[in-house]
Amino acid sequence: MKNKKTPYKSVLTIAGSDSGGCAGIQADIKSISACGAYAASVITATTAQNTQGVTDIHAIPVLHIEKQLNAVLSDINFGAIKIGMLYSCDVIKVVALKLTEYSVKNIVLDPVMIATSGDKLITENTIECLKDFLPKIQLITPNIPEAELLIKHPIDVTNFENSAKEIGLQYKTSVLLKGGHLNSTSNEMSDVLFVNQTNKIHRINNPKINTNNTRGTGCSLSSSIATFLCLGYPIETAVKKACQYVNEAIGNGKNKILGKGNAPINHFGLN
C-alpha cells in the first residue's frame, strides 16, 4: 500500500548541551540524524562552551529533567537510548528510575567525565553514583582517562584489551574502550570492544588521522552506536559501523576551521 504508515526509528539522547555545537546534545542529534534515525533529547545541563573549552556548567533542575523524561518516554517508542553528561547523583537516580519504569532497551552510556580539552565535566561525588549505575547499561564507551578513573590503574598498549575486559567484568556491562589517548606509533587507531554476553574481545582498527579537529568524537561515537542498535544491528556490527562513521567524519573535518580553537568532526561531510 502506497500510504502505509511506518514508525520512525527513534533514538533518545540524554546529555548536556554545548553552546558551541561541537559536542553534547548537538553532536548527538547530528550523529543520530546522519546515521539514519530520528533524534529526541533530554537536556541534563547547559554549558558555556566553544572551540577553546568549557567556561561554565549550569545544572538543569532534577524535577525538570524528570518531566522531560516523562514527556518523551510516555509518547515515543525508542529503539535505543544514548546517555552522556549526568551531572549529579540526583540526576543519575532519576534517569535510572525512569529508564526502569519505561522498560527501555539498548542503553549506551558515554561516561562523560573529562572533555576533549581536558576540562572536568563531573563532580567528584558523582563518580561513585555513576559506578553503581553501570550494571544497568548495555554498553559503556569510556576513553582512557575515564577508564582509569573506573578501574584506578594506568592503561597503556600492554594492558589495553585486558583493561576493557576488567571494566566489563567489574561493572557487568559491555565496554568499548577507546584508544585515542594511547601513545602508539601505529598508523591505525585501535578501539577494543568487550561483549559481556559472550565474554569476547573484538579489536576495531581504523586509519589514524592527524588532526586536532576532534571535538565531540566521544558523543558522536556513542550516539551513532545507539543509532545502529536502534536500526537492528547486533552490538559488534553496530560498534564497528559507528567507529567507521566517526573515523570518516574526522577525515571530512580535518581541514575545516571553526572558531579560534579545535574544530569538531564533520558529521555530514559538509563543504
Q: What's the order of all strands across the beta sheet hosting 174-177?
A: 53-59, 38-50, 10-18, 80-83, 107-109, 139-140, 174-177, 188-195, 200-207
Candidates 44, 47, 141, 217; catalytic one = 217
131 is catalytic: no
158 is catalytic: no
178 is catalytic: yes
CA 256/CA 26 separation, integer angstroms: 18
Candidates 47, 141, 173, 214; catalytic one = 214
214 is catalytic: yes
Candidates 9, 216, 227, 253; catalytic one = 216
Candidates 219, 230, 240, 243; catalytic one = 219
- Alpha helices, DSSP H, located in 134-234: 144-151, 160-171, 217-230
67 is catalytic: no
Candidates 30, 82, 98, 178; catalytic one = 178
180 is catalytic: no
Q: Is there a contact between 229 and 80 (Cβ–Cβ < 8 Å)?
A: yes
Candidates 79, 218, 240, 243; catalytic one = 218
* Nearest of 81, 170, 96 to residue 133 by alpha carbon: 96
Q: What are the residue numbers of the active site?
A: 178, 214, 216-219
